[in-house]
Chain A
């Protein structure tokens, strides 16, 4: 390794290598309800955004598996002022599931 640094844990395993190129987590957005929105990351001039949406259920086990959640996320790949848009929607199987049993919707915004 000519430049940069590596950090190892107590067992000698590398836990951070400054020469590696990895996507950085820019922000974690937490929503408690379905619906749409967007966010523009100004001042970032040479990165593309990649957002992923994940669901967190409430404490009632299995109650949410009869529902489907779609985040409908779109990402700006222009490289300047990347923008992330979302429209979280939930559909339930009638009589078997309830969208209200989802507690949180997490949107992870990465930049690379």
Chain B
């Protein structure tokens, strides 16, 4: 290192260096930021309007919930779309918390004093007005089992499914977390020929159920004080005939304590 700041703590860990990027805490996302789309999905809209891509740690508080989409709206807010267990979108939005972190920006809550550090390219990497993202450790998020209802599950008499299938878990070993939070991002997909999104119509005095939409299954995650979990969640209560299936891989997720930012 030829210049800049390099701080090492008593355990010989590098804790600060101007070449690193310090993601800063922006805001908490709770039920007041949430809108339910339907019973398996809701979204959060941030108040953060910066251009830097936000990453969101989820304290899931016992609920299965994963991020399936992140994009910037025309009003510059960011929309975080979430996938929940079964019919629990409303319950989930009322019980989980998202912790939003972004790359340190040029803006500041108090530009007149404090510590701001730029890197060699002149980009802000640290601003003492913001709490930095403090990762406690990492944990392997195992892929869900591929045994979620098989290729011929259901049949014409649709079989009801509920809850989470193919659940796997891995202890994370991070102790004393008051609000364990992790990056819970859905990846793999399954498609079914039918699901419960039938539409009922009447013709000639008879009632018909017209099945129009595909069933849809993706991986879904949860973090607890002891472990991380990965399984299959589904849209709808009845499924049949898998036509497309992509089993997600395992991934590593960082873990932090949401209580540090409450």
Which chain A residues have a beta carbon within 8 Å of chain B's beta carbons? 3-4, 7-10, 13, 15-16, 18-28, 50-59, 61-62, 64-73, 75, 91-96, 103-104, 106, 108, 110, 112
The distance in angstroms between the C-alpha atoms of A20 and B244, with both chains bound, is: 46
6 new A-B pairs (CB below 8 Å) besides A52-B254, A56-B71, A71-B187? A24-B15, A25-B21, A65-B83, A95-B214, A96-B216, A110-B135
24 contacts between A and B (CB under 8 A): A4-B9, A10-B109, A10-B114, A13-B131, A16-B16, A16-B126, A19-B15, A21-B15, A22-B132, A23-B137, A23-B138, A25-B22, A54-B70, A55-B70, A56-B70, A64-B69, A67-B189, A68-B186, A68-B218, A70-B188, A91-B244, A91-B246, A93-B189, A96-B216
Interface residues on B, range: 35 or more
When distances are taken between beta carbons in the complex, the residues of chain A under 8 Å from B136 are: 22
The distance in angstroms between the C-alpha atoms of A3 and B11, with both chains bound, is: 11
Taking the complex as formed, is B120 at the interface, i.e. its CB lies under 8 A from any CB of chain A? no
Contact of A68 among B70, B79, B248 (CB under 8 A): B248
The distance in angstroms between the C-alpha atoms of A71 and B126, with both chains bound, is: 29
Which chain B residues have a beta carbon within 8 Å of chain A's beta carbons? 7, 9-11, 13-17, 20-23, 41, 53, 55, 68-74, 79, 81, 83, 103, 109-110, 114-115, 126, 128-138, 183, 185-189, 191, 214, 216, 218-219, 243-244, 246, 248-249, 251-254
The distance in angstroms between the C-alpha atoms of A64 and B81, with both chains bound, is: 10
The distance in angstroms between the C-alpha atoms of A11 and B17, with both chains bound, is: 25
The distance in angstroms between the C-alpha atoms of A84 and B126, with both chains bound, is: 25
The distance in angstroms between the C-alpha atoms of A58 and B79, with both chains bound, is: 11
A91 contacts B189, C-beta separation under 8 Å = yes
Closest Cβ of chain A to B242, distance in Å, is 12
When distances are taken between beta carbons in the complex, the residues of chain B under 8 Å from A95 are: 214
Tally the A-B contacts, defined by beta carbons under 8 Å: 160
B187 contacts A68, C-beta separation under 8 Å = yes
A23 contacts B128, C-beta separation under 8 Å = no
Closest Cβ of chain B to A98, distance in Å, is 13
Closest Cβ of chain A to B82, distance in Å, is 10
Contact of B128 among A16, A66, A91, A96 (CB under 8 A): A16
When distances are taken between beta carbons in the complex, the residues of chain B under 8 Å from A104 are: 53
B71 contacts A57, C-beta separation under 8 Å = yes
Closest Cβ of chain A to B23, distance in Å, is 6
The distance in angstroms between the C-alpha atoms of A93 and B195, with both chains bound, is: 14
A52 contacts B253, C-beta separation under 8 Å = yes
A94 contacts B249, C-beta separation under 8 Å = no
Contact of A53 among B70, B81, B132, B251 (CB under 8 A): B251
B81 contacts A65, C-beta separation under 8 Å = yes
Q: Counting chain B CB atoms within 10 Å of each CB, which of A3, A20, A70 scores highest?
A: A70
When distances are taken between beta carbons in the complex, the residues of chain A under 8 Å from B23 are: 25
A54 contacts B81, C-beta separation under 8 Å = no
A93 contacts B244, C-beta separation under 8 Å = yes
When distances are taken between beta carbons in the complex, the residues of chain A under 8 Å from B109 are: 9-10
Q: Counting chain A CB atoms within 10 Å of each CB, which of B243, B249, B252 scores highest?
A: B252
When distances are taken between beta carbons in the complex, the residues of chain A under 8 Å from B183 are: 52, 54
B128 contacts A21, C-beta separation under 8 Å = no
Q: Counting chain B CB atoms within 10 Å of each CB, which of A3, A19, A52 scores highest?
A: A52
A70 contacts B254, C-beta separation under 8 Å = no
When distances are taken between beta carbons in the complex, the residues of chain A under 8 Å from B110 are: 9-10
